[in-house]
Amino acid sequence: MSLGPGTVMRAALRAVQQAGELLESQEVARQVFGYPTIADVPSSRAAGVRRALRALIRRGEIEELGRDWEGGRRKWGTHAEAEKARARSAQVCAFIARREAKQSAKQAPKLEVR
């Protein structure tokens, strides 16, 4: 029988909720265990935090946004922060699509065969 969320899980949830932005698991581990830099976090501690973060996802308390975000590392955050990030991503994709459409429209007359 489960005794509920453990110390690491509660601390990880608190760190993600208080951050106000998406965090990498290494940053969550740094905050949970109080290390001065991410480089100081031992791999065993980081692995424990990743397990706690995955458990929080299963409980529906946070979201994981995958590796497609800045730096190719997984990002974790609250539902509100995840939604903001998805909205920003959609805006960027729409901007890029508009810019590429304008560029191809400018180049279309140059590509016509005479």
pLDDT tens digits, 58-81: 999 999 888 765 667 788 999 999
Tell me if residue 73 falls in helix, strand or coil.
Answer: coil
Q: What is the pTM of this model?
A: 0.75
What is the C-alpha R_g of the chain? 20
Q: Is the pLDDT of residue 1 over 70?
A: no
Q: Which amino acid, 57? A: I
- The CATH topology of domain 7-111 is Arc Repressor Mutant, subunit A (1.10.10)
Read off the tokens for 107. 């180049």
pLDDT tens digits, 9-54: 999 999 999 998 889 989 999 999 999 999 999 999 999 999 999 9
Q: Is the pLDDT of residue 114 over 60?
A: no
Q: Which amino acid, 98? A: R
Every domain of the chain and the residues it spans:
7-111
